[in-house]
Structure 1
């Protein structure tokens, strides 16, 4: 018996998606190989998707709705399914991020996920040398998180970067250049503020590492702190106050938004061929 035959559709959103995809495909009289061909993917990959061994793509979801006449059924399921690309400990943060009205992010090594390009994110994940298929799933999930910035009323995003983020190349020079262009473009949005703490600022309040402060409409603000193996969400008032004070101190020593853009442009010059 194939693994897909033993799936319980009530076990998770991913299991429901996989079993419903297989059921509707078989009702339509379409073989796995034929659907894979129309989806421009290997039959082995579609087989893994129907067995919950791989995550479905957005393109596959759109194609299935078109072929099976299911409206936007699979497209509506996809954002829920994609959360399975996140580690279980990270999923609560994704929910909080979606609910946040203000996001204040400090980063010392990499551009925050909400502003990463696909190629840059791929380089970041690849540096950890995981399974190649998992890298693509993680990149897809990271790109999906960015939809909150395209909402009619997006969260206010304030990003403070250590200059190290601009100088540490991730991927090829072209990948890094495109990433810095993405950061500069984000700075043009009225809901965003981008600042850089230059090297010559010396020691600063963020030396302990990256963190984010999320302001929510309902409930207290929370802090997310990155770690080696996994991150941690802190909601205790004293921790939130400490993070907010650290962020205030960082913005005080950072360059102004205008001068920060100049420094980012300067870093891009170093990537010129």
Structure 2
């Protein structure tokens, strides 16, 4: 077991967070158990975070900041911690998403990570690897904080109809995931369109891709492959071709209103909430 005194605050953002959490707690004269009781977490969890064996969440950080009067120190630091927990090859992409003023995405078979619910993300991430699943899920969901920025990016997402039918995590998870997509209905900065099966052959047949546009920097196209690798490129010819592909995908996709209606219909017909004989939802 790692001893807290052995932590090197310069080793990683996670180690630094643990070091600071312990310093702040001890300065307040609290034990791990006492702090846990105040913020409604277990003392064991506080200890695991202090020893860099557990990744803190934003909620945990906000509660500790409020309890210890740290002026948001841990809440600011946790963003760096969570970003550092991303796979090395994906950190650049997360940075691009955070800086982009416009994001255009096309997904062929599942919901984009920026719109995934916790249960859906957990099911996706746990297909081949169940280790540290809670932490990895929290890290993925943390990327969605870009929507909370004062100047949040404008996002257009084209989603293949197949993604609505690909049952990931079970019926209840899919129902909640589709309901989450519908929660963005009427939000000017987040626009979700469905590419229907009836579109036939389309310009996205080669696979999913993202297009990021920035205030001053050149646009970047991002594609993902097997083997844990991503491929961002600012090549002007590639960006131009993918921009044209995306224009055609949007033209072939359903309107925002019709897309929402299709999502709602699939949610109700394919993933209808199961009820018992008394009419109560079945867990």
User: Take 2:25 and 2:255, find their aligned partners in 1: how far apart are those partners?
Assistant: 56
User: Take 2:189 and 2:44, find their aligned partners in 1: how far apart are those partners?
Assistant: 44
2:139 aligned partner = 141
User: Take 1:2 and 1:194, find their aligned partners in 2: how far apart are those partners?
Assistant: 46
Deviation, structure 1 residue 155: 1.3
User: Take 1:246 and 1:230, find their aligned partners in 2: how far apart are those partners?
Assistant: 22
8 Å CA contact retained: 2:38, 2:67: no
Deviation, structure 1 residue 54: 1.6
User: Take 2:28 and 2:193, find their aligned partners in 1: how far apart are those partners?
Assistant: 54
- Identify the range of structure 1 (29-38 vs 119-128) with the bigger mean alpha-carbon deviation: 29-38
How big is the alpha-carbon RMSD for the aligned residues of Structure 1 and Structure 2? 2.1
- Segments of 5+ residues of structure 2 without an aligned counterpart are 275-283
User: Take 2:42 and 2:150, find their aligned partners in 1: how far apart are those partners?
Assistant: 37
Relative to the length of structure 2, the TM-score reads 0.87
1:20 aligned partner = 20
Deviation, structure 1 residue 219: 0.9
2:148 aligned partner = 150
8 Å CA contact retained: 1:115, 1:186: no
1:256 aligned partner = 255
User: Take 1:47 and 1:235, find their aligned partners in 2: how far apart are those partners?
Assistant: 44
- Identify the range of structure 1 (145-154 vs 101-110) with the bigger mean alpha-carbon deviation: 145-154
- Segments of 5+ residues of structure 1 without an aligned counterpart are none
User: Take 1:156 and 1:26, find their aligned partners in 2: how far apart are those partners?
Assistant: 43
User: Take 1:14 and 1:48, find their aligned partners in 2: how far apart are those partners?
Assistant: 11
8 Å CA contact retained: 2:101, 2:213: yes
Deviation, structure 1 residue 39: 4.2
2:107 aligned partner = 107
User: Take 2:15 and 2:2, find their aligned partners in 1: how far apart are those partners?
Assistant: 14
User: Take 2:76 and 2:173, find their aligned partners in 1: how far apart are those partners?
Assistant: 31
Alignment of 1:81-120 (within 5 A): 81-120=81-120
Relative to the length of structure 1, the TM-score reads 0.90
Deviations 1:71-123 (A, max 9, x none): 22212212221213311221111111111111100001211112122222222
Deviation, structure 1 residue 51: 2.0
8 Å CA contact retained: 1:61, 1:78: yes
The residue matched to 2:205 in structure 1 has which SS?
Answer: coil
The residue matched to 1:205 in structure 2 has which SS?
Answer: coil
Alignment of 1:83-232 (within 5 A): 83-131=83-131, 134-228=132-226, 229-232=228-231
- Identify the range of structure 1 (54-63 vs 165-174) with the bigger mean alpha-carbon deviation: 54-63
